[in-house]
């Protein structure tokens, strides 16, 4: 039996017109995530008989139980079942939550995975909006847009801190497994990359082109995910992009990609490079997990993740950086990227590769520690991880430079970062 849901059962107006709408601090009734509380989203495949279609459960306090201006932890777990459903589709469905929730008037959603951020406005709550409606939206819209690949869907929203933290660990484990599926692939071994234009409603000229070694900057879509998404929805936001002629193998410039980007950005962007932050980097939108920036004095590059709220050596905090470069333009010297991308072999390879990395927040270093160590071994500097400065050494270029000298950071003996492009010295 196929379920068809035509209406989205929420007490507020609903549609793409509300997607870009912000909910300002003073108008917030309830906030989840955004660095204030743990918050994550997970779509997972389940057995047919374990899922009751349309069931939405809120475990823990809901909106009616809290005062205006409150914060709550939130875990949104969506279980999907069906004969055609595959594990490969989980990330594709999961990434839709962002715009589907945003369609509700008075509800703001930013990010994905474990950096999701919800703001529900006082006016939405006045109209009767509760957390349950987030589940109703997901259920209704998943059926509408992806009914062909699954039969049943149920949503559970958790708001108790302990439970959210426990489930968050499980979710992070699943994100990791998804990320690592791409591990063995290289950009050279495929003629086809995939576009992603999901974020154009916020950043109209933004076009992600996702290659095996350049995961989407939101961290939620890698090449395999885009490929699966195209298979499900051939006219959707993920289109195959033939690389075409390789115009610059070092910076990662491809004729076919440029042609696609020019069209998809309606003429705004004519060319960008996959492997550079210095020279015409890719466009950046507001949901990037990290932002890399050139540090000329240190002859290197720093990167900062969204969750780190402190100052950085480029003189800007993450929020300022995202606000400045996240509108879908090409900004030489700055580029958004995923956490996973840091340890992918093509990470800023055209600027000298990961050996240029001189600063990152301690929390990010810890999060990707295992892979960073592996990558250090791969480039022949097993203790490379310890050469990268963090806020413990300083948050200005002047503060971290003595440390970099002391540990003999490789960036200091590389050609000038703002000079010619250079191949990664392996």
In the shown chain, the binding pattern of residues 220 to 259 toward ligand SF4, with x for contact by CB under 6 A and - for none, equals xx--------------------------------------
Tokens of 299: 């002859």
- Report which secondary-structure segment, H or E, holds 335: strand 334-337
Interface with Zn ion includes 208 (CB under 5 A)? no
**Measured CA distances, 224 to 79, 195, 343 (Å):** 21, 12, 18
Alpha helices by DSSP H, 181-272? 223-232, 255-264
How many residues in the shown chain lie near Zn ion by CB under 5 A? Answer: 3
Beta bridge partners of 56: 155
**Measured CA distances, 379 to 165, 355, 375 (Å):** 35, 8, 6
Q: How far is the CB of 196 from ligand SF4 (least distance, A)?
A: 3
For 13, what's the count of Cα atoms within 13 Å in the CB-facing half-sphere? 9
Q: How far is the CB of 319 from ligand SF4 (least distance, A)?
A: 17
Q: Which residue from 51, 232, 287, 358 is in contact with ligand SF4, where contact means CB under 6 A?
A: 287
CA–CA separation, 38 and 44 (whole Å): 19
Q: How far is the CB of 16 from ligand SF4 (least distance, A)?
A: 16
- Taking the alpha carbons at both ends of the chain, their separation in whole angstroms is 56
Could you tell which of ligand SF4, Zn ion, none binds residue 153, using a CB distance below 5 to 8 A set by kind?
A: none
Residue sitting closest to ligand SF4 (CB): 216
CA–CA separation, 195 and 185 (whole Å): 17
Q: How far is the CB of 418 from Zn ion (least distance, A)?
A: 28
Interface with ligand SF4 includes 198 (CB under 6 A)? yes
Q: Which residue from 56, 131, 218, 257 is in contact with ligand SF4, where contact means CB under 6 A?
A: 218
Interface with ligand SF4 includes 111 (CB under 6 A)? no
- Report which secondary-structure segment, H or E, holds 302: strand 300-305
Q: How far is the CB of 274 from ligand SF4 (least distance, A)?
A: 13
Q: Which residue from 56, 95, 350, 404 is in contact with ligand SF4, where contact means CB under 6 A?
A: 95
Q: Which of 331, 293, 284, 299 is nearest to 313 (CA)?
A: 293
Contact 103, 14 (CB under 8 A): yes
Q: Which stretch binds ligand SF4 (CB under 6 A): 1-9, 210-218, 245-253, 308-316?
A: 210-218
Q: Which stretch binds ligand SF4 (CB under 6 A): 54-62, 184-192, 216-224, 254-262?
A: 216-224
Q: Which is nearer to ligand SF4, 289 or 397 (CB)?
A: 289
Q: Which stretch binds Zn ion (CB under 5 A): 127-135, 193-201, 259-267, 274-282?
A: 193-201
Q: Which residue from 199, 277, 292, 395 is in contact with Zn ion, where contact means CB under 5 A?
A: 199
In the shown chain, the binding pattern of residues 45 to 84 toward ligand SF4, with x for contact by CB under 6 A and - for none, equals ----------------------------------------
Q: How far is the CB of 41 from Zn ion (least distance, A)?
A: 15
Beta bridge partners of 180: none
Q: Which is nearer to ligand SF4, 104 or 285 (CB)?
A: 285
Q: Which residue from 85, 278, 287, 301 is in contact with Zn ion, where contact means CB under 5 A?
A: 287
Q: Which is nearer to Zn ion, 208 or 278 (CB)?
A: 208
**Measured CA distances, 34 to 117, 120, 307, 416 (Å):** 5, 13, 8, 37
The residues near 7 (Cβ < 8 Å, ≥ 6 apart) are: 140
Beta bridge partners of 117: 33, 110
Q: Which of 340, 335, 367, 338 is nearest to 351 (CA)?
A: 335
Q: Among residue numbers 322 through 351, which ones bind ligand SF4 (CB under 6 A)?
A: none
Q: Which of 366, 328, 40, 312 is nearest to 172 (CA)?
A: 40
Q: Which residue from 28, 134, 217, 278 is in contact with ligand SF4, where contact means CB under 6 A?
A: 217
CA–CA separation, 45 and 22 (whole Å): 32
Q: Which residue from 42, 164, 264, 285 is in contact with Zn ion, where contact means CB under 5 A?
A: 285
Burial class (CB in 10 A: 0-12, 13-18, 19+), 148: exposed
Q: Which residue from 108, 131, 208, 422 is in contact with ligand SF4, where contact means CB under 6 A?
A: 208
How many residues in the shown chain lie near ligand SF4 by CB under 6 A? Answer: 13
Judged by the rule CB under 5 A, the positions of this chain that interact with Zn ion are: 199, 285, 287
Judged by the rule CB under 6 A, the positions of this chain that interact with ligand SF4 are: 95, 196, 198-199, 208, 210, 216-218, 220-221, 285, 287
């Amino acid at each position: 039996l196929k379920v068809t849901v035509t209406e989205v059962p929420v007490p507020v107006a609903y549609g793409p017109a509300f997607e870009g709408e912000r909910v300002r601090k003073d108008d917030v009734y309830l906030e989840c995530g955004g660095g204030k509380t743990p918050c994550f989203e997970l779509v997972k495949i389940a057995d047919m008989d374990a899922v009751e279609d349309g069931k939405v459960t809120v475990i823990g306090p809901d909106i009616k139980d809290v005062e205006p201006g409150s914060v709550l932890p939130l875990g949104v777990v969506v279980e999907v079942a069906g004969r055609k459903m595959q594990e490969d589709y989980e990330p594709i469905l999961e990434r839709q939550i962002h715009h589907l929730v945003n369609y509700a008037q008075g509800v703001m959603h930013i990010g994905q995975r474990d950096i999701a951020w919800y703001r529900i406005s006082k006016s939405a709550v006045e109209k009767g909006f509760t957390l349950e409606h987030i589940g109703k939206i997901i259920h209704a819209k998943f059926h509408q847009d992806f009914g062909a690949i699954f039969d049943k869907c149920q949503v559970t929203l958790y708001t108790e801190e302990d439970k959210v933290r426990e489930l968050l660990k499980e979710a992070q484990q699943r994100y990791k497994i998804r990320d690592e599926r791409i591990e063995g692939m290289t950009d050279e071994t495929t003629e086809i990359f995939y576009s992603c234009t999901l974020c154009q409603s916020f950043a109209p000229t933004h076009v992600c082109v996702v290659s095996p070694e350049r995961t989407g900057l939101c961290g939620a879509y890698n090449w395999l995910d885009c490929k699966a998404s195209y298979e499900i929805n051939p006219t959707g936001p993920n289109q195959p992009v033939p690389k075409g002629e390789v115009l610059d193998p070092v910076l990662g410039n491809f004729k076919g990609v440029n042609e696609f980007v020019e069209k998809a950005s309606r003429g705004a962007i004519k060319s960008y490079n996959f492997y550079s932050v210095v020279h015409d980097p890719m466009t950046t939108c507001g949901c990037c997990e990290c932002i890399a920036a050139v540090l000329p004095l240190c002859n290197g590059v720093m990167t900062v993740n969204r969750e780190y709220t402190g100052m950085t050596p480029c003189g800007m905090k993450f929020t300022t950086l995202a606000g400045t470069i996240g509108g879908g333009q090409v900004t030489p010297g700055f580029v958004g990227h995923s956490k996973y991308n840091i340890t992918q072999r093509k990470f800023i390879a055209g600027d000298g590769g990961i050996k240029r990395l001189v600063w990152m927040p301690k929390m990010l270093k810890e999060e990707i520690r295992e892979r960073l160590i592996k990558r250090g071994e791969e480039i022949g500097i097993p203790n490379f991880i310890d050469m990268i400065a963090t806020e413990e050494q300083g948050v200005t270029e002047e503060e971290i430079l003595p440390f970099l000298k002391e540990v003999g950071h490789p960036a200091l003996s590389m050609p000038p970062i703002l000079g010619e492009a250079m191949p990664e010295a392996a």
